[in-house]
Amino acid sequence: MEKSVIIKNISIVVIILTAVFLSQQPYFKKTSKDLYNKAVTQIGPYWSNAENWAKSNIYPKIGDVYSKASSEAQDRGEGIKNELTLQKEKVSENFGEKIKNYFSGIVDSVFNPSKNASQNASQQNCPQSCPAAK
């Protein structure tokens, strides 16, 4: 029994490989088109039955899984969106604070040039152990 199954499977593989090889040959083009058209007309009803069966039995199950997965992904997406918004706000605050400090330092140096000059001089002249350097 097993030998007959093996011989049958090998025969099917040989037939398929022969058909694939011959379909690539230029002299077999017209014959392959005719053969394809005949196969489509004979297999068409079986294919439509298989399609209807898949639509009625498989797609609803996949749809349920997809709807569960999409709702979970949507929930996670909202959490990620909220976290991104929070991080953007933190970056904006930090960036705004740095810009504010920079411009306040420029304005302070314009209005009080002697104060900045004395601070810079004391930092330059003071060694690292000096409290003014820290």
Each residue's pLDDT tens digit, 13-55: 999 999 888 878 777 778 778 888 888 899 889 889 988 888 8
pLDDT of residue 124: 54
- The domains of the chain are located at 2-133
**Higher pLDDT residue, 61 or 116?**
61
d(CA 24, CA 100): 73
pLDDT of residue 66: 64
pLDDT of residue 133: 47
Q: What is the mean pLDDT of residues 64-90?
A: 78
- Report whether 86 contacts 93 (CB < 8 A): no
Q: Which residues of 77-116 are buried (b: 16+ CB within 10 A; e: fewer)?
A: eeeeeeeeeeeeeeeeeeeeeeeeeeeeeeeeeeeeeeee
pLDDT in tens, 85-117: 888 888 888 888 888 888 888 888 888 877 655
CA-nearest of 36, 7, 44 to 19 is 36
